[in-house]
Structure 1
Amino acid sequence: MENKEIIQFVAEACDDKRAEDIVVLDMNEVSLVADYFLICHGSNERQVQAISRGIKQAMDEKDLPVKRIEGFDQARWILVDLGDIVCHIFHRDERSYYNLERLWGDAVHVSLEIGQEG
């Protein structure tokens, strides 16, 4: 599966758990850390955990590896490492504080097709 397909698939998994403001940044030209960052947030700790579980479950269903999940217990900023793709799932307050979109402002925003059903 190509990275862009995985990004779309993971974004849909986040949307299924009602993640808010899902953004994907193409990091190829600005960082060696990952090819893509997916950034989203939830309104409370349980939702943030549910979003990360949703990503893990979706990856398992496609038999794709999840390298690491960090920050799950505190659920303020959970990082899900998919290798070339790193998902940042924030609690709403932490997202505005860390503002990764501004920090990586040179990265190209990738358009997604999610949440378009009725």
Structure 2
Amino acid sequence: MSSAKAGLPTPDLTAAVAAIDDLKGRDILVLDLRGLCDATDFFVVASGTSDAHVRGIANSVLEKLDRRGVRAHHVEGLPGGRWVLLDFVDFVVHLFHPEARSFYQLERLWSDAPELRPGA
């Protein structure tokens, strides 16, 4: 695990990012929403190369955190794989097909949030 991942604010957030990285998720970004959003503290945003890749990454995150005793509060989009949302309350993982990520541009929507780029 890189020192950047090890330096993320919580072990569960670190585990989620590691699961994405282990399956070769692309352009992994953590947005620090503390003070900007009441619903969650962090967004993790990443891309897969295909719908199947996005689903595989999502399942890896769910399995890795489940082994830590952490279950998603809510999951959206898993059957489709274009945009999968995994809500762990303190952080939300957004996994995108590249076209969907480009279309929704969450990074732009939350441009006031400090960015952490694990492994960069």
TM over 0.5: yes
2:66 is paired with a residue whose SS is helix
- In percent, how many aligned pairs have the same letter? 31
Matching residue's letter, 2:82: R
Over the aligned positions, Cα root-mean-square deviation in angstroms equals 1.5
Contact in 2 for aligned 1:77/1:91 (Cα 8 Å): yes
Amino acid at match of 1:51: I
Structure 1 unaligned residues grouped into runs of 5+: none
Q: Which runs of 4+ in 1 moved over 3 A?
A: none
Which TM-score applies when normalising by structure 1?
0.89
TM-aligned CA deviation for residue 3 of structure 1: 5.3
Q: Structure 2 unaligned segments of length 5 or more: list them.
A: 1-7
Determine whether 1:65 maps to 2:71: yes
- Distance in 2 between residues matched to 1:107 and 1:40, nearest whole Å: 16
Q: Is the 8 A contact 1:28 1:35 kept in 2?
A: yes
Contact kept, 8 Å, 1:3 with 1:85, in 2: the verdict is: no
**Match for 2:42: what amino acid?**
Y
- In the alignment, the residues of structure 1 paired with residue 63 and residue 75 of structure 2 have an alpha-carbon distance, to the nearest angstrom, of 13
How many equivalent pairs are there?
A: 113
TM-score (normalised: structure 2) = 0.88
Identify the residue that residue 37 of structure 1 maps to in structure 2.
43
Native 8 Å contact 1:3 1:84 kept in 2: no
Deviates more, 1:29-38 or 1:18-27: 29-38
